[in-house]
Amino acid sequence: MSLGVNENLEERYLVSLAREEIEYLRRLYGKATDALGKIGDQEANEFGRSTFHRIFTTDALVRVSGGPKALAGAGPDSWAKVVKNALKDYESTQHLIGTQIVAFTDVQFENGEVSSGEAEMSSYLQAWHAWPDRRGRIVLGTYHDKVRFSPGKGWQIYDMTLEYTSVEHRQMGNAT
């Protein structure tokens, strides 16, 4: 698919909206991940779990590579369990997402709407993790996502790999 200057203006607009919707999946993922890290907060955990169901297909393959240990899950519930276990010892976390690039591999339109499509997205990650003793763990990495559009569900991630770039531990100050 090419998006040259001669493309149909309506289709260019729909592709632009689709790009925004796809990028928003990763932003929601950051919020959901932080919510799942709030051990004992049932409302936050339910938000995280239900958001994972919104952003991932039921059979999504999810993995982390290049970090201290490989992590993997299949589907939103499996990945939510992995995330909760990985974050259980932290007092708080903050996952910051940036430099998102979406490349469409296919997109089809019908009646002025996206009817099907696939795309790939990369997004930078800066994740801050605070232990109760005020030590911090900073993770830098890149998410590599494959997404597809399904009528009635919209855009969802069906394949995600988080590639760690670096991990740093440091002493943190007080949050006053």
Counting every residue written for the chain, the total comes to: 176
> 67: pLDDT confidence band, cut at 50, 70 and 90?
confident
pLDDT for position 62: 95
In the predicted structure, residue 7 carries a pLDDT above the cut 80 = no
> 2: pLDDT confidence band, cut at 50, 70 and 90?
very low
Q: What's the rounded Cα separation, in Å, for the pair 27 and 23?
A: 7
Task: Determine the average pLDDT of the residues in 85-94.
Answer: 93
Q: What's the rounded Cα separation, in Å, for the pair 126 and 141?
A: 7
Residue 66 sits at the vertex; the CA angle it makes with 87 and 129, to the nearest 5 degrees, is: 25
For domain 9-171, the question of CATH label 2.160.10.10 is answered with: no
Task: Determine the average pLDDT of the residues in 139-148.
Answer: 97
Asked whether the beta carbons of 146 and 118 are under 8 A apart, the reply is yes
Q: Average model confidence (pLDDT) for the chain?
A: 91
Task: Determine the average pLDDT of the residues in 115-128.
Answer: 96
Q: What's the rounded Cα separation, in Å, for the pair 71 and 79?
A: 9
Amino acid at 171: Q
What residues does 62 pair with on adjacent strands? Answer: 73, 160
Task: Determine the average pLDDT of the residues in 163-174.
Answer: 88
Question: What is each CA distance from 59 to 5, 36, 53, 158, in whole angstroms?
Answer: 37, 20, 11, 7
In the predicted structure, residue 148 carries a pLDDT above the cut 60 = yes
pLDDT for position 70: 81
> 176: pLDDT confidence band, cut at 50, 70 and 90?
low
What residues does 110 pair with on adjacent strands? Answer: 113
Tokens 């991630």 belong to which residue? 157
> 5: pLDDT confidence band, cut at 50, 70 and 90?
very low
In the predicted structure, residue 4 carries a pLDDT above the cut 70 = no
- Taking the CA atoms of residue 15, residue 18, residue 19 and residue 20 in that order, the dihedral angle to the nearest 10 degrees is 130
Per-domain residue ranges of the chain: 9-171
> 172: pLDDT confidence band, cut at 50, 70 and 90?
confident
Tokens 């090419």 belong to which residue? 2
* SS3 of the chain: helix, strand, coil, percent, to 5: 30, 50, 20
Closest Cα to residue 108, out of 4, 14, 19, 9? 14
What residues does 157 pair with on adjacent strands? Answer: 56, 147
Q: Where are the alpha helices (DSSP H) in 40-126?
A: 42-55, 76-87
